[in-house]
């Protein structure tokens, strides 16, 4: 029996990278998976490729702008109607502006904030009634070490860090306020995740890779998507039934300095 058998999970930003890895792992562990994305065709294509190899996986895609209250309410209602309830939400969708504190415009700041932080508030408001009916649930917010610390003096995305810091605080508030409903809320703070794009950057810039090995001392120095997905699985499952308001840092030792 899978670790999520009988549970239904909504995963945002599920069309690629970490979101897709979480969706596939949760389906493997027996969950009914609803993966959402602003470009739903990308999610559908990615899920179809997985289901071609694993036809027993329950994976469905839904159109979703996570910054929209109305779309959150529709995704929650449609998911509950299809599967009878909602047990797990993973707020993974995020964007970056790559702007320093002196360069970011108000428009850019608000755009990043809406996708990365406001979306978490909207998710809670949309899914909690269904989780409460189910007797409880787990909300896992994919944050970042950017929500715990700043970038370097010569760089860093001020808008992204601010949004992730907001998500961190919002998670702790939600954890306290929803505990009586048996709804747990936790964050994961990844460091670097080795996507194909990041791998190509390291291959083209060996000096950058050397720097990463110093600042993130634990091999493999950056995580694969499945590493972070395994953390999400723990927080989503009943194995973490006493864990709420916690921060799971998965950064190969960066924050240990």
Question: How does DSSP assign 192-221, residue by residue?
Answer: -B--HHHHHHHHH-HHHHHHHHHHS-STTS
For 125, the enclosing helix (H) or strand (E) is: helix 119-133
Contact 170, 116 (CB under 8 A): no
pLDDT of residue 200: 83
Cα dihedral 195, 198, 200, 206 sign: negative
Q: Mind listing the pLDDT tens digit for each residue in 137-160?
A: 999 999 999 999 876 555 568 899
Alpha carbon 31 to its chain centroid, in Å, reads: 17
Catalytic residue among 57, 113, 160, 254: 160
How does residue 37 score in pLDDT terms, banded at 50, 70 and 90? very high
Q: Mind listing the pLDDT tens digit for each residue in 20-29?
A: 999 999 999 9
Active site residue 202: no
Closest CA to 89 of 51, 33, 135, 145: 33
Q: Mind listing the pLDDT tens digit for each residue in 211-248?
A: 999 999 999 999 999 999 999 999 999 999 999 999 99
Token pair for 156: 């860093």
Scanning the structure block, which residue is given the tokens 């899920």? Answer: 47
Token pair for 136: 């409880």
How does residue 123 score in pLDDT terms, banded at 50, 70 and 90? very high
For residue 84, is pLDDT > 60?
A: yes
Scanning the structure block, which residue is given the tokens 């509950």? Answer: 80
d(CA 200, CA 217): 20
Contact 168, 228 (CB under 8 A): no
Scanning the structure block, which residue is given the tokens 């978490």? Answer: 120
Q: Mind listing the pLDDT tens digit for each residue in 199-208?
A: 887 899 899 8
Scanning the structure block, which residue is given the tokens 């929500």? Answer: 147
Give me the phi and psi of 103, to 5 degrees please: -110, -20
Closest CA to 50 of 87, 14, 92, 90: 14
pLDDT of residue 116: 97
Question: How does DSSP assign 166-198, residue by residue?
Answer: HHHHHHHHHHHHHGGGTEEEEEEEE--B--HHH
pLDDT of residue 198: 82
Closest CA to 90 of 254, 253, 251, 248: 248
């Amino acid at each position: 029996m899978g670790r999520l058998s009988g549970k239904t999970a909504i995963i945002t930003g599920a069309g690629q990278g970490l979101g897709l890895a979480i969706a596939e792992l949760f389906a493997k562990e027996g969950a009914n998976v609803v993966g959402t994305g602003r470009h739903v065709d990308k999610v559908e294509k990615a899920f179809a490729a997985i289901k071609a190899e694993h036809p027993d996986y329950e994976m469905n895609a839904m159109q979703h702008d996570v910054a929209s209250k109305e779309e959150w309410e529709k995704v929650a209602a449609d998911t509950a109607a299809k599967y009878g309830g909602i047990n797990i939400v993973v707020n993974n969708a995020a964007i970056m502006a790559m702007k320093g504190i002196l360069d970011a415009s108000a428009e850019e700041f608000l755009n990043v904030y809406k996708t990365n932080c406001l979306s978490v508030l909207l998710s809670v408001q949309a899914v909690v009634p269904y989780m409460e009916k189910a007797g409880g649930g787990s909300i896992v917010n994919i944050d970042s070490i950017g929500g715990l610390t700043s970038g370097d003096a010569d760089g860093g995305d001020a808008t992204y860090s601010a949004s992730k810091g907001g998500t961190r605080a919002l998670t702790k508030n939600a954890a306290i306020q929803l505990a009586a409903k048996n709804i747990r809320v936790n964050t994961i703070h990844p460091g670097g995740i080795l996507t194909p794009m990041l791998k190509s950057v390291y291959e083209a810039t060996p000096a950058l890779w050397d720097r990463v090995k110093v600042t993130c001392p634990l091999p493999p120095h950056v995580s694969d998507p499945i590493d972070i997905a395994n953390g999400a699985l723990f927080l989503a499952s009943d194995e973490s039934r006493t864990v709420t308001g916690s921060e799971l840092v998965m950064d190969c030792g960066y924050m240990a300095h």
